[in-house]
Amino acid sequence: MQTDSSFTFVLFGGTGDLSMRKILPALFEAHRAGGMLADSGKIVAVARHATDRREYNEWVNEHVKPHVSKNGVDETAWASFLERIEFVNIDLGKAEDFVHLRDAIKDLPGIRVFYLATGPSLFVPICHALASVGLNENSRIVLEKPLGYDLKSSNAINDAVGEIFAEEQIYRIDHYLGKEPVQNLLALRFGNALFEPLWRREWVESIQITIAEELGVEARGDFYDNTGALRDMVQNHLLQLLSIVAMEPPHSMDSDSVRDEKLRVLRALKPIDPRDIGKVAVRGQYHSGVIRGTAVPAYATESGVRPDSTTETFVALKVEIENWRWAGVPFFLRTGKRLADRVAEIVVNFRAVPHSALGASALRAGANRLVIRLQPNETIRLYCLAKQPGEGMNLASVHLDLAFDQFFREGQMEAYQRLLLDVINGRLALFVRRDEQEAAWRWVEPILNEWKVSNKPPKPYASGTWGPAASSAMLAQHGTCWLEEEN
């Protein structure tokens, strides 16, 4: 993915956690690789916690450098990366300060990218301030989640930003779409004749999508207690993964072809009747427990969390897609904090053979399964049945394993690195279009509203487990269970 496109990358929130852990390390990796970033490209950090370029680069050395390159830092590459960085100290709440930003970047080359690594409350004021000094023209803007609290607030932000930037200038980022296994999911489905004929209701019994975390809310208690798992993870990450798993083949990989097909899936999601939410939606909240031998506190005692909070830290859903390909196939979505393991994966459970000519052992061994793991290790694993050595026809489950780090010797590209390069190069396919976002909010809102009206407390679960028992019971009603393997 080489480019000679010059750019000026303006990073709002330049001293924030996201810039420190993800954005600046991703830009460094692209710089270090050579040829991915134009030599003339510049990074302009905007923040108030430094006074000048020298002080900001000292901050980058101290706080960003520990997060780059697992195999150590190439000091020559690091020094040349710091030379790319400029710094502007302005108050984001003062529109008049943006004159200083305009003057600082007016002579810098290439396309301008404005990355808003700030709280969503600053999105609209920053956009208005950029427009007031003419910086919205011939530029691109990247919006981090959360983009709104519900459909109404999301539309309000999109309306306001849309008055200043055209839709093709707006990059709504969801970093899961940049992960290598998600890209390989597209390759698996649309580049191989083997799988596509089986990717439908006749051969697929159910599909699971899990994003599980061992961490709690950490220092984000104030934010999380007003958000919850449904808004934080389901409305964006999980529904985006679902749409990629279930979409029809696009006629090409251009941005609108891919996003048109994802939108069709989101619009085909079966609406949930409020009276049925208790049957198809499980919400939980973690209590104290033990994770990897360490005692961890209950959610209600975390800093910034209300002691009587009913915010969910776990959600499991049964989802149906009302179209020809997927009618009758349940999709099970699950996400939570303080769970037994850190894992993100997609599990495709195929139907069993219609008749077991090989005896009872074939039934006990189970059906075929495809597991696409996104984290912590990125693999694709296909489970098949094979005869065990020895006398008799005794079958066992075996697997074919594609471990990307072993098969491809060159290093994998991190999600943020890929997505930032796509922004610089004007590729929109892996970013969320407004109508996709609206469709996702429209489907999620009845669940949010019912939980608010009913005011029922979430089901408790001990930290270090896989969530409330009701989550497993929901799948048991369909004759299946969650895949819970060791990493």
Res. 426: pLDDT tops 50: yes
User: 203 and 248: one domain?
Assistant: yes
CB 161 within 8 A of CB 147: no
User: 357 and 216: one domain?
Assistant: yes
End residue of a domain, out of 123, 144, 165: 144
Res. 167: pLDDT tops 80: yes
Q: What integer best gives the mean pLDDT of the chain?
A: 91
Res. 373: pLDDT tops 60: yes
Tokens of 458: 């979430």
End residue of a domain, out of 122, 144, 166: 144
**Between 387 and 32, the higher pLDDT residue:** 32
Q: What is the per-residue DSSP string for 4-26?
A: ---EEEEEETTTSHHIIIIIHHH
In a domain? residue 224: yes
User: 272 and 326: one domain?
Assistant: yes
Res. 114: pLDDT tops 80: yes
pLDDT band at residue 361, thresholds of 50, 70 and 90?
low
User: 182 and 271: one domain?
Assistant: yes
Q: 385 pairs with which residues across the strands?
A: 397
User: 91 and 216: one domain?
Assistant: no
Peptide bond into 376 cis (omega under 30): yes
Q: Based on the structure, what is the number of domains in the chain?
A: 2
170 DSSP 8-state letter: E
Sheet of strand 42-47, all strands in order from the earlier edge strand to the far edge: 85-89, 42-47, 7-12, 111-116, 139-143, 170-172
User: 238 and 93: one domain?
Assistant: no
In a domain? residue 483: no
Residues 6+ apart with CB under 8 A from 51: 89
User: 134 and 89: one domain?
Assistant: yes
Res. 3: pLDDT tops 60: no
Output the CA–CA distances (angstroms, integers) from residue 28 to 36, 49, 329, 400, 414, in the order listed. Answer: 10, 21, 43, 35, 11
pLDDT band at residue 107, thresholds of 50, 70 and 90?
very high
User: 291 and 437: one domain?
Assistant: yes
pLDDT, residue 389, reads 86
Check which CATH number belongs to the domain holding 267 and give it: 3.30.360.10
Domain range for residue 332?
177-412+433-476
User: 27 and 113: one domain?
Assistant: yes
**Between 357 and 372, the higher pLDDT residue:** 372
In a domain? residue 338: yes
pLDDT, residue 293, reads 94
In a domain? residue 169: no
Output the CA–CA distances (angstroms, integers) from residue 339 to 24, 216, 372, in the order listed. Answer: 29, 9, 19
Can you point out the beta strands (E) in 213-342?
A: 281-287, 289-291, 294-296, 314-319, 331-336
pLDDT in tens, 232-275: 999 999 999 999 999 999 998 888 999 999 999 999 999 999 88
User: 397 and 254: one domain?
Assistant: yes
CB 409 within 8 A of CB 415: no
- 158-167, 215-224, 233-242, range with the lowest pLDDT: 215-224
Q: For the chain, give the number of residues.
A: 487
pLDDT band at residue 283, thresholds of 50, 70 and 90?
very high
In a domain? residue 182: yes
User: 126 and 188: one domain?
Assistant: no
pTM of the entire predicted model: 0.91
- Per DSSP, helices labelled H in 269-365 are 277-280, 360-365
In a domain? residue 164: no
Task: State the pairing for strand pair 7-12/111-116.
Answer: parallel
75 DSSP 8-state letter: H
Check which CATH number belongs to the domain holding 140 and give it: 3.40.50.720
In this structure, the dihedral spanned by the alpha carbons of residues 197, 201, 206 and 211, taken in order and rounded to 10 degrees, is: 60
End residue of a domain, out of 100, 126, 144: 144
The stretch 12-32 carries a mean pLDDT of 94
In a domain? residue 484: no
User: 188 and 279: one domain?
Assistant: yes
CB 211 within 8 A of CB 240: no
Active site residues: 237
Res. 486: pLDDT tops 70: no
pLDDT, residue 1, reads 47
Tokens of 55: 């002080």
In a domain? residue 52: yes
